[in-house]
Structure 1
Amino acid sequence: MTARPHDSPVRIVLADDEPLLRAGLRVVLEAEGTVEVVAEAADGAELLEAVRRHRPQVVLVDVQMPGVDGFAALRALSKEPDPPPAAVLTTFDLDGYVSEALRIGVQGFLLKDAEPAALVRAVLDLAAGGAVLDPRITARLLPRFVAGGTGPAPAQLDELTLRERQVLTQIASGHSNAAIGENLGLAEATVKKYVSAVLAKLGAQNRVQAALLAQGLGVG
């Protein structure tokens, strides 16, 4: 995606079939002037049309929507050229869907009742290339993740070099490549190489999976 000017708000598309919830989220997200909701969608079909029309930097997607649901939309979105990072909006009674979203490759999982500041920060982190995981979702997902045998063995963690473990810790905290580079004193291109190596060694498909795996192993 094209980098935004430093002082310009992050442009997002918000998809949820409940108008009142969309309206509330819009107020929360736009309150500080750092986020702009450029379009809203009531189902997956409207979401895909809005993304193609507005080219947002971040997409927030509810899972349960009529017609084309959130999963179908996310699968289609992943096939679009240069798709924006997407986060799933969910609730505790729907967290069984998180595993499916993880397989699709979303970059974040957020609860609809998250604190306003946390939602805004999550959008900004997503736009910067980070991964976002609401701690409450992580707490519920990790036991299932470990019990299902989808997490890495400690031996896989041992394969990481010291620097790769440092990068993994940064990934687990949701930092973007630019932020990791700043925190560790590395060029962003170098960070990208380390991130690729970490994902490969852990068998993770994306940063969110790596963050979950790291937290499951007590890293971070």
Structure 2
Amino acid sequence: MQADDRGEPVRVVLADDESMLRRGLRLLLESSGTIRVVAEAGDGNELLAAVRSHRVDVALIDVQMPGKDGLSALRDLVALPDPPAAAVLTTFDLDDYVSDALRHGASGFLLKDADPAMLVRAVHDLAAGGAVLDPRITARLLPRLRGTTGNSREIQLVRGLSARERQVLELLADGRSNADIGLRLGLTEATVKSYVSTVLSKLGAQNRVQAALIAQRVADVGNHW
């Protein structure tokens, strides 16, 4: 949905209690010409109200907000019918929140001081069905989130996937969007979306990031599917 199929911009909601940060993010994202910030929220309740009132492709959510915080809002957000892709905005001193956000269904983790081009690209990847991690978060946190190696149950779950499902999982684990996976495998985006849903279901993963972590853990013990 990179400026979607009709050429429309990606529609974003920003949730952060710092108005200056929201203003800066809005200017940054909208300067791309392919992203439109349709609403801003200062807490989790305002975020949920904004998502219910607008057609939203991507929600960028701060963790620490007054009232309903970002993690609580994320949990309620993913329970909505056809929720937007959600990425958590975090800082290095809030590392412990990342694993919680993962469990609550976040599809991305971005640092507030990320390079502008990287943030724009991340929003497009999220809207297209991808999962995004700031490289600095990956380097610092992924070993802890992954654990040491995949357990026998995870190995069996991955081995239980069809050959095509394993191809989709491998590309998903690389952070590829549905559109990119489709191009690489010669599939329509709708077909890829169906495969991704099946893979998540078979692995017992709530989202793409969890599935990617399972894939990486299994690969770490020498299982190349």
Aligned to 2:184: 183
Instruction: Report the number of matched residues.
Output: 218
Aligned to 1:92: 92
1:97 Cα offset (Å): 0.5
- How far apart in 2 are the matches of 1:158 and 1:36? 42
Structure 2 SS opposite 1:55: coil
RMSD (Å), alpha carbons: 2.6
Gaps of 5+ in 1: none
Aligned to 1:164: 165
Which aligned pairs between 1:3-82 and structure 2 lie closer than 5 A?
Answer: 4-82=4-82
**What TM-score comes out, normalization by structure 2 length?**
0.84
1:177 Cα offset (Å): 2.3
Letter in 2 for 1:37: V
Aligned to 1:143: 143
Letter in 2 for 1:96: D
- How far apart in 1 are the matches of 2:94 and 2:186? 40
1:44 Cα offset (Å): 0.9
1:99 Cα offset (Å): 0.9
Alignment check: 8 A CA contact 1:138 1:212 kept:
no
- How far apart in 1 are the matches of 2:72 and 2:49? 14
1:76-105 CA deviation, whole Å, 9 max, x = no partner?
A: 212222211111111111121011111111
1:160-185 CA deviation, whole Å, 9 max, x = no partner?
A: 45433321221123223232111111
- How far apart in 2 are the matches of 1:52 and 1:11? 13
**What TM-score comes out, normalization by structure 1 length?**
0.86
Letter in 1 for 2:81: P
- How far apart in 1 are the matches of 2:183 and 2:201? 23
Gaps of 5+ in 2: none
**Structure 2 residue 151 is the aligned partner of structure 1 residue 131:** no
Aligned to 2:210: 209
- How far apart in 2 are the matches of 1:180 and 1:192? 10
Alignment check: 8 A CA contact 1:133 1:208 kept:
no
- How far apart in 2 are the matches of 1:82 and 1:115? 29
Letter in 2 for 1:173: D
